[in-house]
Amino acid sequence: MNFGALRVLNDDVLQGGGGFGVHRHENMEIISIPLQGALAHGDSTGHTSVIRPNDVQVMSAGTGIMHTERNHSAHEPVSFLQLCILPATQNLLPRYAQQSFDPKTWKNQFGLLVGPKQQQQGNLWIN
């Protein structure tokens, strides 16, 4: 079930109009990375957004959060990666962040997009 702190690594494709209905997570750090298309997100903290390629979204489920993901398009598929990481500290308040990254910034090199804390200007962090 786990590989160290990595709980889940999903490579999902949702057809037009498809999605995952409202479901609950707790004590989980969830990272969503669209590869193609657009993913619509909504959660019980009131955050709604559309995540597109070059965007990364992090959601700390902490004490518990209800959320849904749906294909933003009625016709085109959306392809995305979703990682669930076990948190270092349990039962924190839910938190949400999303950021766009320019892939040209790291042409032919690695770049830190998400880490355990904000280690450089502009990266997202998880617990």
| pLDDT for 118 | 63
pLDDT in tens, 111-123: 888 988 766 667 8
Quote the pLDDT of residue 111. Answer: 81
Residue 87: which domain range? 6-125
* Residue 47 forms part of a structural domain: yes
Residues 89-102: pLDDT tens digits? 999 999 999 999 99
- pTM for the predicted model, two decimal places: 0.92
Q: How many CB atoms lie within 10 A of CB 27?
A: 17
pLDDT in tens, 24-71: 999 999 999 999 999 999 999 999 999 999 999 999 999 999 999 999
- Only one residue has tokens 């355990």, namely 116
CATH code of 106's domain: 2.60.120.10
Domains in the chain: how many in total? 1
The single-letter code of the amino acid at 84 is: C
* Cβ neighbours of residue 40 closer than 8 Å, sequence gap 6 or more: 19, 48, 49, 50, 51, 69, 70, 71, 72
Predicted local confidence at residue 109, as pLDDT: 87
CA 23 → CA 53, 68, 94, 116, 125, distances in Å?
24, 7, 15, 25, 23
Structure tokens at 91: 């039962």
Model confidence at 103, pLDDT cuts 50, 70, 90, reads confident
Q: So what's the pLDDT on residue 105?
A: 84
Q: Is residue 37 part of a domain?
A: yes
| Residue 1 resides in a domain | no
Do the beta carbons of residue 92 and residue 66 sit within 8 Å? no
Q: Which pLDDT score, from 0 to 100, does residue 119 have?
A: 61
Does the residue 91 lie in any domain? yes
Residue 23 resides in a domain: yes
